[in-house]
């Protein structure tokens, strides 16, 4: 005999307070009543485990979302810093070229 239980929750997204987050868990168990297993007791046990899992996930969700936001913010800041570094390198190359042209111009005027 196969037993299937489901537990689920709907939460308000703590980041936006508008969106709803749906979560559920489904557990399955196979028992053999001929071995003396009580199907009703197995259902209660499995349902309690499903409820605990979904509650644990619900409790950990805000921290997980906060960590995800922090990682994204840090990643964006690092990308901005890299972009600024690339811009600075490009500007430094342009300045070197300009300096080389100015030195060449200075040499031409000095030779005259």
End-to-end Cα distance, the chain: 103
- Tens digits of pLDDT across the chain (112 residues): 899 999 999 888 777 777 888 889 999 999 887 877 788 899 999 999 999 999 998 888 888 888 888 999 999 999 999 999 999 999 999 899 888 888 877 666 665 5
- Are β-strands 2-12 and 20-30 bridged in parallel, bridged antiparallel, or unpaired? antiparallel
Do residues 43 and 60 lie in contact, with contact meaning Cβ atoms separated by under 8 Å? no
Q: Where are the domains of the chain?
A: 2-101
**Alpha carbon of residue 52 to chain centroid:** 24
pTM of the predicted model over 0.75:
no
* Cα–Cα distance for residue pair 66/74, rounded to 1 Å: 12
* Cα–Cα distance for residue pair 28/22, rounded to 1 Å: 20
């Amino acid at each position: 005999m196969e037993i299937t239980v489901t537990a689920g929750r709907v939460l308000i997204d703590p980041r936006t307070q508008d969106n709803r987050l749906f979560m559920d868990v489904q557990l399955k168990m196979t028992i053999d009543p001929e071995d003396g297993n009580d199907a009703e007791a197995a259902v209660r046990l499995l349902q309690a485990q499903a409820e605990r899992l979904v509650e644990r996930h619900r409790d950990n969700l805000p921290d997980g979302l906060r960590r995800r936001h922090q990682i994204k913010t840090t990643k964006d800041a690092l990308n901005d810093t890299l972009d600024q570094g690339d811009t600075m390198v490009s500007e430094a190359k342009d300045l070197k070229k300009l300096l080389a042209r100015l030195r060449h111009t200075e040499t031409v005027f000095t030779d005259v």
